[in-house]
Amino acid sequence: MPRIWLHYIEFLMKQKKITRARRALDRALRSLPITQHSRIWELYVKFIKDGEVPKETALCAFRRYLMLEPDHVEIYIAYLRTIGRYDEAAQKLANVVDDEDFSSMEGKTRHQLWMDLCDLVSKHPADIKALNIESIIRSGIRQFTDEVGRLWISLGDHFIRLGQFEKARDIYEEAMATVSTVHDFSLIFESYAKFLESLISAHMEREAASAVSAAEADLLMLRLEDLLGRRPELVSSVKLRQNPHNVHEWLQRAKLYKDDVLIALWVGDREWSTPQWSG
């Protein structure tokens, strides 16, 4: 009877008899018919989550559990994250999002699972070896238009965590040049500005000890000033990507270049060559 096994194992767990509890769980699984295994496995998972089981033992147990209950993979992914096994967690999560027939036990949509994956890989870039992180996040950008701003920021954050600051700058610039909503642009712009501010602060702290850091801080301040100065033009570009036939926005854009006659004339030419009109 599974109830007897359950009471016995729970008693061992309360007594902190880790090895004896694990052996009892294994004996219960060997003794009981497979139709009754689910009740034992529920207790086994709780036993593992309590955190006193050696990691390798827990991983072996979980992998056996998934052979019986493959749909419960989210429990395993959550456990992998708690013990810092981010690479395997990302692989399992990638398999989940690639499986169109997967039904989340936690009620998550495929969209939410994708965002979980992007969040996981962007926050732990040094630990992810088996997956191409940039490809994953860019795939999310193509698929989920309502999360574009957040995903671009995740991609930039990925390279920041790797210490690849120039690559991160390239990502932010690419993002600002491609998004088509002011909301997404604002998210990216603010994140980009904060990133530059944090670099400036870091260099200024080292400025007294290094002339190189002082020069780099000056360069970063120029880049930040340039970014802030370009904001009106960048916002205008976003609005025109969203609707290239917006005459009002073309007129507003021309005003941005009132001090540069040639550019203003070029913008005006673009405006009047647009065949459709909208208010």
Interval 265-279: pLDDT, tens: 444 444 444 544 444
Per-residue model confidence (pLDDT) at position 187: 97
Evaluate whether residue 27 is within a structural domain: yes
Per-residue model confidence (pLDDT) at position 51: 66
- Using an 8 Å Cβ cutoff, are 123 and 161 in contact? yes
Considering the domain architecture, whether residues 173 and 222 belong to the same structural domain is answered as yes
CA atoms of 39 and 68, how far apart (whole Å):
12
CA atoms of 138 and 36, how far apart (whole Å):
44
Considering the domain architecture, whether residues 163 and 222 belong to the same structural domain is answered as yes
Nearest Cα residue to 7 out of 30, 24, 26: 24
Evaluate whether residue 79 is within a structural domain: no
CA atoms of 114 and 43, how far apart (whole Å):
30
Q: Which long-range contacts (CB under 8 A, 24 or more apart) does 32-38 make?
A: 32/2, 32/5, 34/68, 36/2, 37/68, 38/68, 38/69
**Phi, psi of 278, deg, nearest 5:** -150, 150
Considering the domain architecture, whether residues 226 and 254 belong to the same structural domain is answered as no
pLDDT in tens, the chain (279 residues): 678 888 888 888 888 888 898 889 888 888 888 888 888 888 888 888 876 778 888 898 888 888 888 989 999 999 999 999 999 999 999 999 999 889 999 999 989 999 999 999 999 999 999 999 999 999 999 988 889 999 999 999 999 999 999 999 999 999 999 999 999 999 999 999 999 999 998 888 775 556 666 778 888 999 999 999 999 989 988 988 888 777 777 777 777 766 554 444 444 444 444 544 444
How many structural domains are present in the chain? Answer: 4
Considering the domain architecture, whether residues 156 and 228 belong to the same structural domain is answered as yes
Evaluate whether residue 196 is within a structural domain: yes
Neighbouring CB atoms inside 10 A of 182's CB total: 13
DSSP 106: T
From 100, 122, 143, the end of a domain falls on 143
Considering the domain architecture, whether residues 227 and 210 belong to the same structural domain is answered as yes
Per-residue model confidence (pLDDT) at position 242: 86
Domain that holds residue 33: 1-68
Chain segment 12-21, per-residue pLDDT in tens: 888 888 889 8
